[in-house]
Amino acid sequence: MNQPKITQDNVHLLLPNKVAQLADRLIQNGKADDMDSALKMVYSSPVYAKLEQENTKYWWYGVNALYQAISLQ
């Protein structure tokens, strides 16, 4: 069976789950106090800007790699 191709037009479909997992991890590790601040941190980060761009392939990364990337900012 053919897998759908990820393009700039559909990469946004992958982001909600990744953002939620990343925000959860930020809270668990004490980088954010609550979900609101964690989400703001994610959405305002360079990591999210890269997630939005299909050509960076950040959408392929797991939550551990994304967390490390956002923690290094």
Residues 18-66: pLDDT tens digits? 999 999 999 999 999 999 999 999 999 999 999 999 999 999 999 999 9
Task: Provide the domain limits for residue 24.
Answer: 16-71
Compute how many other C-beta atoms are within 10 angstroms of the C-beta atom of residue 19.
18
On whether the CB atoms of residues 27 and 34 are closer than 8 A, the answer is: yes
pLDDT at 69 over 90: yes
Confidence of residue 5 (pLDDT cuts 50, 70, 90): very high
pLDDT at 73 over 80: no
User: Tell me, what's the pLDDT at 3?
Assistant: 84
Q: Report yes or no on 9 lying in a domain.
A: no
Domain count, the chain: 1
Q: Report yes or no on 46 lying in a domain.
A: yes
Q: In sequence order, which ranges of 1-73 are alpha helices (DSSP H)?
A: 15-28, 35-43, 46-51, 63-71
